[in-house]
Amino acid sequence: MRLSCFLVSVSRSIFALVNDQDKYYFGNQGKGSGSFGNIERDKRAIFKKSYAAGPNKLIAELVQDEAI
């Protein structure tokens, strides 16, 4: 019996915004969406998704991310 093996690469940027300086520098980082591609024929890549929010909102958003 042969088991299928999927190799996946996932890249995320995560910024916890805890003060005004964090919001100033990273507050717009969480506006993008993820991109999908292939590294090789059988290797999928999901990248460019960024998260920037307060800690509680980050947790809620990360729980919904299938790649994490």
* Residue 1 covered by a domain: no
Query: Does the structure show a pLDDT above 60 at 3?
Result: no
Give 60 or 6, the one with higher predicted confidence: 60
Most confident of 7-16, 41-50, 56-65: 56-65
Which letter does DSSP use for residue 27 in this model? T
Range of the domain at 22: 7-63
Which letter does DSSP use for residue 19 in this model? S
* Residue 49 covered by a domain: yes
At 34, phi and psi to the nearest 5? -80, 160
Of 1, 4, 2, the C-alpha closest to 42 is 4
Residue 13 pLDDT grade (very low, low, confident, very high; cuts 50, 70, 90): confident
* Residue 68 covered by a domain: no
Domain count, the chain: 1
Q: How far apart are CA 65 and CA 29, in angstroms?
A: 16
Residue 28: predicted pLDDT: 75
Query: Does the structure show a pLDDT above 80 at 43?
Result: no
Edge-to-edge strand list for the sheet holding 43-53: 7-16, 43-53, 35-40
